[in-house]
Amino acid sequence: MRDAQAGWHIMIIEDEPSLAAIIQDYLTQAGMTSEILHEGHRAVETILKRKPDLVILDVMLPGMDGLSICREVRAKSDVPIILETARVEELDRLLGLELGADDYVCKPFSPRELVARVKAILRRQAKVQAAASGVLADAEASRDAANAAGQDGLWLDEERWSVTYNGQDLALTRREFQLLAILYKRPGRVFSRAQLVELAFSDDADVFDRVIDTHIKNIRTKLRKQASGVDVIRSVYGVGYAYEEPDT
């Protein structure tokens, strides 16, 4: 298990040199290393060859656009990808394209916020790896492994249909569990209400987008009681919801 963010290597694919440099500065301050590509032409092969821990990818690039790069990389690699889009209106379209990106930021974005998203995705991935390495042990042991790695907090066990926060059961309903599980498995990734209906309630034709809001509200209430105000679900205005790793 890696110690916090030390050793994480990020690839920044951004054609605006000043923006790329700012992102790199913030990543460096957070203890991560990074490299910059200023165009899309050889991006896919460079990512596959260099194997960064995460890719920050601009949509509008000379050479090859970010969407094509995202698709091609995703066909061959699970490396987390954060897409930078030029406008918030573009986000809906991108979400509909199912590109397999893990998160999206809209320009102009705060570099601090971007680094927080990078950390959330990488921490979550480390947690999943910790759980996978203890997959034959029981849930308690997996949780201990995660705790030992400094990743105490929310824990969702699909085998047992249980969600705990610092070991305390949240007692979610089946629907609430299904919904949270979808968000939890792709931290940072923004899901639209329509996507959540499709993924969590495909067996029920009578579910409307509004129902998602109600379930999310109930999950938040239960979590707030158990975890003194911690919220792990981020509302994305006009789009939907995403899971955010709580700071522990």
Q: Give, as ranges, the residues between 50 and 69 that touch Ca ion (CB under 5 A).
A: 58, 60
- Residue 57's beta-bridge partner residues? 13, 83
| Residue the block writes with tokens 């991935």 | 125
Question: Under the criterion CB under 5 A, does residue 244 sit at the interface with Ca ion?
Answer: no
Paired strand residues for 162: 157
- Residue 187: name the closest of 109, 82, 95 by CA: 82
Complex with Ca ion: residue 53 or 58, whichever CB lies closer: 58
User: What minimum distance in Å lies between the beta carbon of 240 and Ca ion?
Assistant: 25
Q: Minimum Å distance from CB 126 to Ca ion?
A: 30
Q: How far is the CB of 71 from Ca ion (least distance, A)?
A: 18
- Site size for Ca ion, by CB under 5 A? 3
Q: Measured in whole angstroms, how far is the alpha carbon of residue 218 from the centre of its chain?
A: 22
φ and ψ at 12, to 5 degrees?
A: -105, 120
State which residue has the least CB distance to Ca ion: 60
Residue closer to Ca ion, measured from CB, 22 or 60: 60
Number of CB atoms found within 10 A of residue 169's CB: 11
User: From the CB of 53, what's the least distance to Ca ion, in Å?
Assistant: 23
Residues forming a β-bridge with 12? 36, 56
15 lines the binding site for Ca ion (CB under 5 A): yes
Q: Give the interface with Ca ion as residue ranges (CB under 5 A).
A: 15, 58, 60
